[in-house]
Structure 1
């Protein structure tokens, strides 16, 4: 179970998130990242997604000290899946929704490569894709993913959408009352 998640984007390390283990069972590990936790992340004038890869410095952008914004999150990394599910909460503790991060990761979950395409899920399980244009723009770039890999990433997202629409775990209300 990870105690730190190193998040990569386009092969460059962009965030280091210290997390607290909550549980690990046959489904996979669940970790918490509390609001205000010291983290390391890249800081750029534009979103890293919007900066053409050719403009990145060798080895990526430097990491700087920062703090985790918001009210904290729970992060579930299902075994054998190429995604993670993040639970977000409002300031008053109310469940705000799920964020599905399409990704690949090391077996222990500590090294995560972001696949750009994501899904936001409201508490009522209505959902929408995120970052579709950026995902499409990076498809075919050897520093990101091929067209074949992009189809696999999209297929993983579509598998998750079926779980969302059916209200199956983890979109069944599980852990919506936990707080990071």
Structure 2
């Protein structure tokens, strides 16, 4: 179960938090984000493209999800300074849920659709630790949707670094539940926040402190 969001932290909009993304127990990326809103039902955070970040230094052309845990250094790969290469995104992280919903924005802040990341999320003060569940959903602006990474999700099922068959069923059920929200056009797929613009005073956050390389 997720811990209380931002325990020990303030709820001030613009506050810098650290989004730490782990795959199979090891860090993939650590990116500073800004708090947009926090309520008892969840929080919204803003991630800006080009933000200074840390990422795992991997063999050229590889992704951490494609490297078997037994082939990785026990303490995780070293990290290197980089910048967030993906587009701008607004993350909704509902309290107690095993997913986040992202509003994706392209050039000139044009809304491109939603992305549902299935995950286990734990909050430690200003740190938002994400244990990725591999299986995700792409949701188009017209709310049609499709699964993403089904094969790699199935391949990881049963591995001790990932999830059991029973946990895999719960992960897929979580995705099905969110898909039903998209089909119904209910929040967060009701058209709200699609025109979000960060306040002009929000500068690009600085690179966060040197992160942990393995999840707690």
One fold, TM greater than 0.5?
Answer: yes
State the match for 1:21 in structure 2. Answer: 35
TM-score, with length taken from structure 2: 0.79
TM-score, with length taken from structure 1: 0.94
State how many pairs are aligned.
180
How far 1:179 sits from its partner (Å)?
A: 2.9
Larger RCO: Structure 1 or Structure 2 (Cα < 8 Å, ≥ 6 residues apart)?
A: 2
User: Could you tell me how far apart the structure 2 residues matched to 1:70 and 1:141 are?
Assistant: 29
Deviating above 3 A after TM superposition, structure 1's stretches of 4 or more consecutive aligned residues are none
Q: How does 1:1-180 map to 2 (within 5 A)?
A: 3-44=17-58, 45-107=61-123, 110-180=128-198
Q: Unaligned regions of 5+ residues in structure 2, if any? A: 7-16, 199-216
Over aligned residue pairs, what C-alpha RMSD do you find? 1.5
User: Could you tell me how far apart the structure 2 residues matched to 1:41 and 1:167 are?
Assistant: 35
Q: Assess if the C-alpha contact under 8 Å between 2:88 and 2:106 holds in 1.
A: no
Q: Unaligned regions of 5+ residues in structure 1, if any? A: none
